[in-house]
A and B are shown apart, each in its own frame.
Chain A
Amino acid sequence: MSQFRYISPKTKEEVLKILEEEKSEACIVAGGSNVLPYIRDKIIPPKLLLDISGIEELNYIKKNGSNWRIGATTTISDLISSKIIREECNILCQAAEQFADPLVRNKATIGGNLADASPAADTAPPLLALDAGLEVESKGKKREIFLKDFFLGPRKTALQDDEMITGINFKSDSLNKPGCFIKLGLRQAMAISVVTVAMVLEIEENRVKDIRVAMGSVAPIPLRLFNAEEFLKNKHLNDDLIEEAKNKVYEEVNPISDIRASAEYRCYISGILFKRALEKLTNQTS
């Protein structure tokens, strides 16, 4: 491996100070399950590795009234073992349980999964469907970026060189409705997704009152399907309508072909998974 300096600060303030001084020279690492293979393959040549995994103040899952906050270094295993995530934010729990394997989940963090900005990031679709925002900080400055505006392309984000994700937030109102996450991979373990879908659905008198859909691995970024959502809102769900909505999905997705699947197959499957998610959630609500 190439050589680099290594610092493991114990506080967020220390990290922000180092980021201000080093800017793009520094590479933040937490779990290391993305960063270390990237260094090995010379995709990133860091001069300084800034290890934030030991910063206690960034590891939390908090619910205050209807406001949820999850710290950036919360691991995927932390999400699975959290009682309130399981009981009250199950859509995220479902995604965490299908994430890689227990060995990776013990180290991989939710902040790292988002900052990596892979179109296949498993925590992104459920968080997009929950209208999540990212708490982003640099020295002396805080801002919030909606997750839907955060991803700019594969491995490209709206983060500046001196900024870090400190937390993720969302509101409970989307959690009172049934939600589901479906992942299609080439196998169950350690699969990078072919297509994923996360959906939150509220039906009132057989009408779609609220729907939020996001998909992974169907576009250069994890994608919120606003057009398909708008199309379904306030309509009576029936088989014909679902078929029409699938066409909206086909229009919105823009997948690539790679070793896992062809673009045509991904496009086709995105409609199928969309329909499956709708059927799963309507069966739960009826």
Chain B
Amino acid sequence: MKKTEIEFTLNGKKKKVEVKPSDLLINLIREELYLTGTKYACGIGECGACTVLLDGEPVLSCLTLAITVAGKEITTIEGLAQDEELHPLQRAFLEQGAVQCGFCTPGMILTATALLKEKPQATEEEIRDYMRGNLCRCTGYVQIIKAIKSCTTGGEN
């Protein structure tokens, strides 16, 4: 199948790549652009491990065709830290011990950044509701919720 050239922004940098219509965004990110922070797990949009931000909104990269992101802005977990400075959510996940095997962590953190942008004062209930599609098979939810809560305005440390 013929490849099409697309241009998009990945973590603030312009990228020009050739893709087939059937190429999934997750495969483009991991296998062509070598950013392996985005995880492939269920492949059918059930688990949230492959979450990336598309124009700031969390979406599932396993259910997104690469060709559809032409002209758009993608942020992966690699794009959150500023130089050597971790994003507050990344720091909070470390401090709260919210990372066990780590496979769900990139998706968790990206969904949480969108939540905090939308609701900086999110309550625990709102956090649990918003994070409902990101699964942690180590079941470390208590620490994950705690880490996110600590980044809300008025959140405990």
Please list the residues of chain A having a beta carbon within 8 angstroms of any beta carbon in chain B: 1-6, 8, 32-33, 36-37, 39-40, 49, 51, 53, 77, 100-104, 106-107, 188-190
A8 vs B6: C-alpha distance when bound (angstroms): 13
A103 contacts which of B4, B43, B58 (Cβ < 8 Å)?
B58
Is there an interface contact between A107 and B132, defined as CB atoms closer than 8 Å?
A: no
Is there an interface contact between A103 and B1, defined as CB atoms closer than 8 Å?
A: no
Is there an interface contact between B133 and A32, defined as CB atoms closer than 8 Å?
A: no
Contacts of B24 in A (CB 8 A): 1, 36
Is there an interface contact between A33 and B67, defined as CB atoms closer than 8 Å?
A: no
Contacts of B132 in A (CB 8 A): 101-102, 188-190
Contacts of A53 in B (CB 8 A): 68
Q: Would you call the interface of chain B mostly helix, strand, loop, or mixed?
A: mixed
Q: Which 10 residue pairs across A and B have the least CB separation, nearest first?
A: A101-B133, A189-B132, A6-B21, A3-B1, A1-B22, A103-B133, A106-B57, A37-B44, A101-B132, A36-B63
Tally of chain B residues near chain A (CB < 8 A): 28
Contacts of A107 in B (CB 8 A): 59-60, 63-64
Please choose the segment from B45-53, B73-81, B97-105 that sits at the chain A interface, where 4 or more of its residues have CB less than 8 A away: B45-53
Within 8 A of A (CB), among B6-65: 20-22, 24, 43-46, 48, 51, 54, 57-60, 63-65
Is there an interface contact between A40 and B43, defined as CB atoms closer than 8 Å?
A: yes
Is there an interface contact between B60 and A104, defined as CB atoms closer than 8 Å?
A: yes
Tell me the minimal C-beta distance from A1 to chain B in angstroms. Answer: 4
A39 vs B133: C-alpha distance when bound (angstroms): 22
Given contacts A49-B21, A77-B57, A106-B59, 4 further A-B contacts (CB under 8 A): A3-B20, A36-B24, A37-B45, A39-B22
> Can you name the residue of chain B whose Cβ is closest to the Cβ of A2?
B22
A4 vs B54: C-alpha distance when bound (angstroms): 24
Is there an interface contact between B45 and A104, defined as CB atoms closer than 8 Å?
A: yes
Is there an interface contact between B63 and A33, defined as CB atoms closer than 8 Å?
A: yes
A281 vs B101: C-alpha distance when bound (angstroms): 46
Is there an interface contact between A33 and B45, defined as CB atoms closer than 8 Å?
A: yes
Tell me the minimal C-beta distance from B30 to chain A in angstroms. Answer: 15
